[in-house]
Chain A
């Protein structure tokens, strides 16, 4: 058995059915202490359910989960002293001022009146809200509300912070403010588990990205690992005559070492390649020798969105199934 105490979060085979949906279908995840983990996935992938199980809000049907070293099912009270949760909507109270909000949460965390007041002041400074501390929250911007909500989740300086889509609905400036707050939290030693729909966001903040789809983690690694695994260069080829597609596919497969994806309507083939220039040269030469007329050929880097879509089973523009079939392989490779 692994040593569990160096991990802030450990989930093993967590399953949870919500109504007719298998929201979590064997979720495995480990987050080392002091790192930021981005739980990335499309709507309905199970991100929020995962957070709800890990924050003791939902009881899993099967599997087990440890947070800050305690089992969420058996020792929820211990877990609750060591976590902070900022949900999808800020739970700040509009009628109260920022300071009053934090004092209230501090008192509910049983800090006592004086300590709660001092702590509120510190948090307002830390999250850049000191100047607006005594304004009512209804006059706050979206980013300020989110930061106040983060501050509320951080009252006890928890070991693990759970942030569920912390920037959804924010404009870029507000989003950057929240990102900076998350970076600061991580720098101060807290472990952060955040869900997001945006690869870019995970890329900006996370040490580790776990791509989640249909209730399980399908790829897990550092942003660089993920990108190089699935985001290598690919050859994008369009033949002039649809009759040549099969022939071109054979050539491309030989050069790339994998079946290319095909979009017959556009007479297009796509294959990921490792040896960029070598493969391109080989493909062009082979096609020329076999007399296959090529309308367009290019070497290009998949966009991050394509990487994400291909992993989560969506169909990017030119994809035709090949990348979907490759997703298990990627998952295994990255996890290995």
Chain B
């Protein structure tokens, strides 16, 4: 009755690649079951964007001006999309630190599975999670009068840029998660939150003090948000600075640069766990 236990030992490159994806899918699936079975997480997923859109769109938005004119809620929504993608780095970071603290990382490392598969699983789960977040937020936006005005193609390109930013931040999250403890990862909220606002997310940088405006213009998040405003046809994009005038190429360049830096750093950090 005992099952013959013969694990598949990948020998060729193609087999290794196949099992990397297979492992990634199993790990991602486990992570997504968490989301599906955790009512609090689902509520959070739904409630957070609704509260934020109401808070910023109506409470603060009633006193907000958009540089160059335009409806504030139209201006706000791309900022909210960008902020949500950026804060997603918290999810990655917290899960990676928890896995390390609970010994899950050790068990993976003691098993004959592909390291890349483990990371791929993390990335897939995080991306699915972010797509859901973005979808909920999109519906919230539509409900408060936001919309896209330059066609579906441009709108989808904008969503692609947002997910590209999220993808780049996975590597930042994994890298930081391998360095930090669960406690300090949770505390990273404090510096991260202002960083998402020191940008063009909620207020046009032109309206800020000079130095702050310059910082905000160059925030990687600003490039993505400005590019989204442009692609959605929402107000508030463009500006005098070089960064504002080249939002689209920057919205691609920044995430690519982040990935190029943090993906190798994460891989190195992972190998150094054996030190």
A91 near B102: Cβ-Cβ < 8 Å: yes
Binary A-proximity of B104-124 (CB < 8 A = 1, otherwise 0): 101111111100000000000
Binary B-proximity of A86-104 (CB < 8 A = 1, otherwise 0): 0111110101100010001
Assuming the contacts A80-B110, A87-B106, asked whether A96 and B7 have C-beta atoms less than 8 A apart, the reply is no
In the complex, what distance in Å separates the CA atom of A152 from the CA atom of B33? 19
Is the CB of A186 closer than 8 A to any CB of chain B?
no
Q: Which of B5, B104, B106, B275 has the most CB of A within 10 A?
A: B5
Min CB distance A165 to B, Å, is 12
Residues of A127-177 contacting chain B, CB below 8 A: 136, 152-153, 155-157
Chain A positions within 8 Å of B110 at CB level: 55-57, 80, 83-85
Binary A-proximity of B1-33 (CB < 8 A = 1, otherwise 0): 111011111100000000100110011001001
Tier of interface size on chain B: 20 to 34
Chain B positions within 8 Å of A207 at CB level: none
In the complex, what distance in Å separates the CA atom of A81 from the CA atom of B5? 11
Chain B positions within 8 Å of A80 at CB level: 110-112
Chain A positions within 8 Å of B22 at CB level: 107, 110
Is the CB of A309 closer than 8 A to any CB of chain B?
no
Nearest A residue to B37, CB-CB: A95
Min CB distance B98 to A, Å, is 11
Chain B positions within 8 Å of A107 at CB level: 22, 26
In the complex, what distance in Å separates the CA atom of A153 from the CA atom of B5? 14
In the complex, what distance in Å separates the CA atom of A124 from the CA atom of B104? 20
Nearest B residue to A82, CB-CB: B112
Residues of B175-224 contacting chain A, CB below 8 A: none
A85 near B7: Cβ-Cβ < 8 Å: no
B111 near A109: Cβ-Cβ < 8 Å: yes
B109 near A108: Cβ-Cβ < 8 Å: no
Question: Which residue of the partner chain, among A56, A59, A81, A95, contacts B7 with CB atoms under 8 Å?
Answer: A81
Is the CB of A58 closer than 8 A to any CB of chain B?
yes
Tier of interface size on chain A: 35 or more
A57 near B273: Cβ-Cβ < 8 Å: yes
Chain A positions within 8 Å of B106 at CB level: 52, 55, 57, 85, 87, 91
Chain A positions within 8 Å of B26 at CB level: 104, 107-108
Is the CB of A119 closer than 8 A to any CB of chain B?
yes
Is the CB of A115 closer than 8 A to any CB of chain B?
yes
Chain A positions within 8 Å of B150 at CB level: none
Is the CB of A257 closer than 8 A to any CB of chain B?
no
A155 near B5: Cβ-Cβ < 8 Å: yes
Assuming the contacts A81-B7, A108-B113, A119-B3, asked whether A59 and B275 have C-beta atoms less than 8 A apart, the reply is yes
In the complex, what distance in Å separates the CA atom of A87 from the CA atom of B104? 9
Nearest B residue to A152, CB-CB: B107
In the assembled complex, 16 residue pairs joining A and B whose CB atoms fall closer than 8 Å, in A order, are: A52-B106, A55-B110, A56-B109, A56-B110, A57-B110, A77-B112, A80-B110, A85-B106, A85-B107, A95-B38, A96-B30, A100-B33, A107-B22, A110-B7, A115-B3, A155-B5
Q: Which residues of B contact A (CB under 8 A)?
A: 1-3, 5-10, 19, 22-23, 26-27, 30, 33-34, 37-38, 102-104, 106-113, 273-275
Q: Which residues of A contact B (CB under 8 A)?
A: 52, 55-59, 77, 80-81, 83-85, 87-91, 93, 95-96, 100, 104, 107-112, 115, 118-119, 122, 136, 152-153, 155-157
Listed from nearest, the 9 A-B pairs whose CB atoms lie closest are A87-B103, A80-B112, A110-B8, A85-B110, A110-B7, A55-B110, A118-B3, A59-B274, A91-B103
